Structure 1
Amino acid sequence: MGLIQQAAEQAGIATASVTHLPDLTEKVSVPRALHIKFPLGRTFGQAGRSDLQEKITVDLLEAVQNRTEDDEKIQKLPYRWRRD
């Protein structure tokens, strides 16, 4: 994903991704990413949690719009996996 993001950014398209593995994401030098502590494959949370899915989507859009050079490339999201 990092190479795709870099190519898009070079073409003038701002990007952001969500990662479960921030150490690996850092190694591929993404322009910006959000780290979420959810199980792999559950990037946007539990099925049916449209409220949480919307929040994560808004966080992604804000990361693209509001990022400055001083910001960390990988920002941690505050959400935690909720067990039923």
Structure 2
Amino acid sequence: MGLIQKAVEKEGIATISITHLPELTKKVQPPRALHIKFPLGRSFGAANRVDLQRKIVMDMLNGIIDMEEEEKIRKLPYRWRRD
């Protein structure tokens, strides 16, 4: 994903991604990424958690605006809850 982000950014479009594997993401060096500690495939949380999903999307939009150049990966505060 980071390689695609770099190509899109070269065209002047800001990008951000979500990662579950920050060590791998650091190697690819995307322009901006958010690290979330959720199971793979659950980047936006459990089904029907609209409140949490909305927060994550807002974090992405805000990250595009306010992430500094040297801050390539930002850790999100959310944790997966086991019910």
Whether these two folds match at TM > 0.5 is yes
Which consecutive unaligned segments of at least 5 residues does structure 1 have? none
TM-score scaled by structure 1? 0.95
Cα RMSD after superposing both structures? 0.8
How far does the alpha carbon of each residue in 1:6-63 deviate from its partner, in whole angstroms, 9 at most, with x for none?
Answer: 0011110000000000000111110010000000001000000000000000000001
Shift of 1:68: 2.3
Task: Measure, in 2, the Cα distance between the counterparts of 1:25 and 1:33.
Answer: 8
TM-score scaled by structure 2? 0.96
State how many pairs are aligned. 83
Q: What does residue range 6-25 of structure 1 map to in structure 2 within 5 Å? A: 6-25=6-25
Shift of 1:66: 1.4
State the secondary structure of the residue aligned to 2:43. Answer: coil
Which consecutive unaligned segments of at least 5 residues does structure 2 have? none
Runs of 4+ residues deviating >3 angstroms = none
